[in-house]
Amino acid sequence: MSVKIKDASVPVIPFKARLSRWFGRNLLRIYMVFGFTYLFIPVAYTFAFSFNDSGKSNLVWKGFTFRNWQNPCGAPEVCTALGNSIKIGFLATLFSTILGTLIAFAIGRYKFKGRSTSNLLIFLPMATPEIVLGASLLSLFLVFKINPGFWPTVIAHVMFCISFVVVTVKARIASLDPRLEQAAMDLYANEIETFRRVTLPLVAPGIAGAALLAFSLSFDDFIITNFNSGTLITFPKFVYVSAARGIPAQANVIGSAMFFLALAIVVAGQLVNRKKSR
Amino acid sequence: MKVSLPKSRVPYLLLFPGFAFLFTFFILPIINLAQTSTQTPVSGGDTGEYEQTFAFSNYVHAFLDNREQFARSFIFAALATIFALTIAYPLAYAIAFKSGKYKNVLLVLVVAPFFTSFLLRTVAWKQILGEEGFLVPTLRNLHLLGQQTTVTSTAFAVVAGMTYNFLPFMTLPLYASLERIDPRTIEAAGDLYANGITTFRKVTVPLSLPGVVAGTLLTFIPAAGDYVNAAILGSPNTKMIGNVIESRYFKIVDYPTAAALSFTLMAAILILVTLYIRKAGTEELV
Amino acid sequence: MGKGVSAGTRQLVSIEPIEARGDLRLTRITKSYGDFKAVDDLTLTIPKGSFFALLGPSGCGKTTTLRMVAGLEEPTVGSIHLGETDITTTRAYQRPINTVFQNYALFPHLTIFENIAFGLRRRGIKDVNEQVAKVLSLVELPHLADRKPTQLSGGQQQRIALARAIVNRPALLLLDEPLGALDLKLRRQMQIELKWIQREVGLTFVHVTHDQEEAMTMADTIAVMSEGKIEQMGSPADLYDNPQTTFVANFLGQSNLIKGRIDGGDGDNLVVDLFGQKIAMPKSRSHAIDNSLYAGIRPEKFRISRVGSPVRGNTLTGGRVEDVSYIGVSTQYVVAMPWGQELMIFEQNDDGVPPFDKDEEVVISWEPGFTFGLRGDEDIEAGTEVEPEEQAE
């Protein structure tokens, strides 16, 4: 490296150079602002139009009102759809988190024959386009004369959520220092106690994250749901179907409410974590 | 020796419920799909009644009839992946290295749009960029956009919609691998006479490669099979293979063709992914 | 075959009474991973109440040995006894043995208090509060009870790890490179403190390290390990003054090893021919098995003199100063001998003699009693070029 020796007086940097230097230093930050604006434009639009005094079609701004927020179930079927989505999301999260966590522990904690095949089986559903997953499952249901509907949709969601749960939990398990479990064993905790008092609490944030991911994947899924839900209407299906003739502002209310709720959960989680580590 | 037989059984016990589920509702359906794909209509039967005749010609017909949509699916998906990578890389880089104590907040913000249903957001784009939105008429008035030019119902809109929707899938893995880079390696590169660009090219990019691979796969795969963006933001001229499969299933009730198309799509994606992973030289994806 | 293979007779030591106190005896232990023998037919007794160090370079099998004692690995062959109790196949949580882990392995989700109370609670001890308080004041960190491990400095974490182990008053405390993560100054301080705590609580400490200085500072007895075997065992002074193998001679401090032949005896002494120059050494300090041997002399035992000045004891002539490094308390010389070997000499700066110049002709001398003899068929380089740092073993 070269060392430049200047005279002792503080060098004066010309304004133009200073400006370009500031720009160079903050280029990425400026970019970040644009990036996030891009990400949030439709969210902001959805939120803004939840206050539109729109009547039937929510395409053009017609005036400000709180009515949609006061009566979110005002549009026909919108709350039924929401209820179905929440129920399906809850069940799919529950089952996929349990099944996926078990698999993650098997793959992350043990060396056994067929481990790489297991990894492949977890990877495949993620590498398969949703439309193929949805269509193939529907074909199977049709063969067994099972009508599409609530439970087939839950099954479909569990199926595509498992892999994501496995990957998330496995990453957490992999980052766990094996010496912690050895230390517990060394300190008179048997296998079950070691799992309960050391392994599980340390993996728990990973499991919680996986569950949150599973719920949002399930709640937001349209393609697979569309194939397996039959006449049952879920929230994304409701939006898709009504997109053609104009989405009621109540859907914007629900979308925005979900957004803020999820944000609140994440922020609360972060705060709890921070408090814990303090 | 302990070797403890019960212990060696543990992983299989843990795997069993989940794998039984995946076998029944993932593997079996795929096998069934393969079967369906070579069926032909029962002569004189109702619509939707098919029998197994090992008609592999289904594949030929399915592919030849929908060459255009196949090509479009892969081109659109590839474009969306490239755009998403271009947008997400600096974003992920900025979050990983330039965000200081706001790192966690910014990460949450990347994921946050997820929580508003992606369909609502896609529809929002349609309305923002549509004829009745304020943007297009304004641009026309400023003569920045031709009077006849529309934004929605174009291939551009479909690719843009996919880019937008899959952006977080690209950003998160990129962030994860960038964040793992020890900043000292970047300083070391500077110390060893590499300028900013060279450091980026020779140190940062190679070290973030696993994230690039994961991000591009997580974007490309769902994009190739997507039909929602094409349905909402596109026109009949921008139909992708997903739209065809969907309508074969629900409108035409032509299960064998739909199955053959699905299978071709899946095979094409798996081949591409395998080649890609080979080339990128990363084995550890999951 | 040892007793350890008889898994059928495995008896479980109950968790509660930790009465199995006494010497730790490893009998013909072998641990193989496939074809590789990490520990090879090792027999060792560690007396109750001692501070014992297992010293060796990375991959010598010391950590594997420790893990077998802790119950985290099981020997392929052989048996481990604590007092009269066979603990070869006893599970880790059933042994009255605790470990201070490398990098401490403190539970990040528990407070310092709960970390220390962990073992007590598992054993169903009643007065947890009192015991934790006591051990916290022993390690002089009573004010940290409510903190989380990540909020502690390295040195503090080290003490908590120690407290978490000794609060259980184990029959045996294992320390796995406990000071490896600390900086030099803190390490020195902890070495003294550990030794003090060991005397205070009167437990048997087994300390695994690759740092010879650390082992020599703390341990009463050191076993030097190499390639799964014990090279030599003894007090630090024994090992340093009278090493029995070239590995120990080189790994513990520095040695000048000069190839020679035994050329007859003279009472209690041997006469040894070193490239034509005759020297004497005590018979009792020779470990050679035939005529061929290495004569070993530690660098600080050599004296260096000008040609013609009076010398006593063994002498070697024809040396020429190759390099001089003045390091305050002493001056280090490299002297080239006529047969091509370079010898290392440390000379205390306490005699007012001005340092020798480069290229000066010198005579080397030393007391015959300091010489040690090693087998001439051993590798002269053994123990010199070992990796100083070890991580995963």
Q: Is A241 within 8 Å of chain B by CB?
A: no
Residue numbers in C near A196 (CB within 8 A): none
Q: Is C212 within 8 Å of chain A by CB?
A: no
What mean pLDDT comes out for the span C273-288?
92
Chains interfacing with B (3 or more CB pairs < 8 Å): A, C
Instruction: Identify the residue with better confidence: A260 or B146.
Output: A260
User: Nearest CA to CA, how far is B116 from chain A (Å)?
Assistant: 5
**Calpha distance B33→A137 (Å, rounded):** 8
Q: Does the domain made of B71-98+105-280 have the CATH classification 3.60.20.10?
A: no
**Biggest CA pair distance of chain C:** 78
pLDDT at C12: 30
Residue numbers in A near B123 (CB within 8 A): 239, 243, 247
Amino acid letter for position B3: V
pLDDT at A170: 92
pLDDT band at A84 (very low <50, low <70, confident <90, very high): very high
What mean pLDDT comes out for the span A151-169?
94
Residue numbers in B near C7 (CB within 8 A): 1-2
Q: Give the single-character DSSP code of B25.
A: I
Pick the CATH number of A77-247 from 1.10.3720.10, 3.40.50.1820, 3.30.465.10, 3.40.50.170: 1.10.3720.10
User: Nearest CA to CA, how far is B45 from chain A (Å)?
Assistant: 16
Instruction: Identify the residue with better confidence: A132 or C8.
Output: A132
Q: Which helix (H) or strand (E) holds C315?
A: strand C314-326
Q: Do C107 and A183 touch (CB under 8 A)?
A: yes
Residue numbers in A near C165 (CB within 8 A): 186-187
Q: Is A273 within 8 Å of chain C by CB?
A: no
User: Nearest CA to CA, how far is A101 from chain C (Å)?
Assistant: 20
pLDDT at A74: 77
| pLDDT, mean over chain C | 85
pLDDT at C333: 93
pLDDT at B281: 63
Q: In sequence order, what are the residues at sequence separation of 6 or more whose Cβ sits closer than 8 angstroms to the Cβ of residue C284? A: C268
pLDDT band at B79 (very low <50, low <70, confident <90, very high): very high
pLDDT at C193: 83
Note the pLDDT tens digit of each residue in C122-165.
Answer: 988 888 999 999 889 888 888 999 999 988 988 899 889 989 99
Q: Give the single-character DSSP code of C379.
A: -
Q: Do C122 and A198 touch (CB under 8 A)?
A: no
pLDDT at C6: 35
Superfamily of domain C3-96+170-241: P-loop containing nucleotide triphosphate hydrolases (3.40.50.300)
Q: Which residue of C has its CA nearest to B3?
A: C74
Name beta bridge partners: B41: B50
**Calpha distance C256→C241 (Å, rounded):** 13
Q: Do C76 and B2 touch (CB under 8 A)?
A: no
**Secondary structure percentages of chain B, helix, strand, coil, to 5:** 75, 0, 20
Q: Do B2 and C5 touch (CB under 8 A)?
A: no
Helices (H), chain C: 62-70, 112-122, 128-138, 154-166, 184-201, 212-218, 236-241, 246-251
- Domain ranges, ordered by start, for chain B: 71-98+105-280
What mean pLDDT comes out for the span B103-109?
82
Point out the least confidently predicted range of A107-111, B208-212, B279-283: B279-283
pLDDT at C388: 47
Check pLDDT > 60 for residue A4.
Answer: no
Residue numbers in C near B1 (CB within 8 A): 5, 7, 74, 76
pLDDT at C255: 92
Note the pLDDT tens digit of each residue in A211-234.
Answer: 988 998 999 899 999 999 989 999
Amino acid letter for position B174: L
Q: How many helices and strands (H and E) does chain A possess? A: 12, 0
Mutation to test the B interface, candidates C12, C68, C74, most B Cβ within 10 Å: C74
pLDDT band at A143 (very low <50, low <70, confident <90, very high): confident
What mean pLDDT comes out for the span A134-159?
92
User: Nearest CA to CA, how far is B123 from chain C (Å)?
Assistant: 44
Output phi, psi for C365, to 5 deg: -140, 160
User: Nearest CA to CA, how far is C149 from chain A (Å)?
Assistant: 9
**Calpha distance B10→B5 (Å, rounded):** 9
Note the pLDDT tens digit of each residue in C91-112.
Answer: 888 888 999 988 889 999 899 9
Of how many residues is chain B composed? 286
Check pLDDT > 60 for residue A119.
Answer: yes
- Concatenate the DSSP letters of all residues of B30-89 into one string: HHHHHHHTTEEEPTT--TT-EEE---THHHHHHHHHTHHHHHHHHHHHHHHHHHHHHHHH
Note the pLDDT tens digit of each residue in C50-85.
Answer: 899 999 988 888 999 999 999 988 899 999 998 888
Instruction: Identify the residue with better confidence: B138 or A108.
Output: A108
Output phi, psi for B209, to 5 deg: -55, -45
Q: Which residue of A has its CA nearest to C105?
A: A180
Tokens of C342: 């370079």
Note the pLDDT tens digit of each residue in B203-247.
Answer: 888 888 888 988 999 899 999 988 888 888 888 888 888 888 888
- Domain ranges, ordered by start, for chain A: 77-247
pLDDT band at C178 (very low <50, low <70, confident <90, very high): confident
What mean pLDDT comes out for the span A13-38?
81
Q: Which residue of B has its CA nearest to A249?
A: B120
Check pLDDT > 90 for residue B140.
Answer: no
pLDDT at A1: 45
pLDDT at B282: 54
The Cα-based distances of C263 to C16, C269, C276, C277, C337 in angstroms read 64, 11, 11, 11, 21
pLDDT band at A18 (very low <50, low <70, confident <90, very high): confident
User: Nearest CA to CA, how far is C10 from chain B (Å)?
Assistant: 9
pLDDT at B286: 40
Percent pLDDT > 90 in chain B is: 20
Q: Which residue of C has its CA nearest to B4?
A: C7
Superfamily of domain C254-375: Nucleic acid-binding proteins (2.40.50.140)
Note the pLDDT tens digit of each residue in A27-67.
Answer: 888 888 888 998 898 999 889 888 888 766 777 777 788 88
H, E, C per residue of B260-279: HHHHHHHHHHHHHHHHHHHH
**Biggest CA pair distance of chain B:** 84
Is residue C105 within 8 A of residue A174, CB to CB? The reply is no
What mean pLDDT comes out for the span A161-178?
91
Residue numbers in C near A201 (CB within 8 A): 109
Amino acid letter for position A117: T
pLDDT at B6: 45
Percent pLDDT > 90 in chain A is: 38
pLDDT at C182: 77
User: Nearest CA to CA, how far is A14 from chain B (Å)?
Assistant: 23
Q: Is C5 within 8 Å of chain A by CB?
A: no
Q: Do C76 and B1 touch (CB under 8 A)?
A: yes
Q: Give the single-character DSSP code of C89.
A: T
What mean pLDDT comes out for the span A187-194?
90
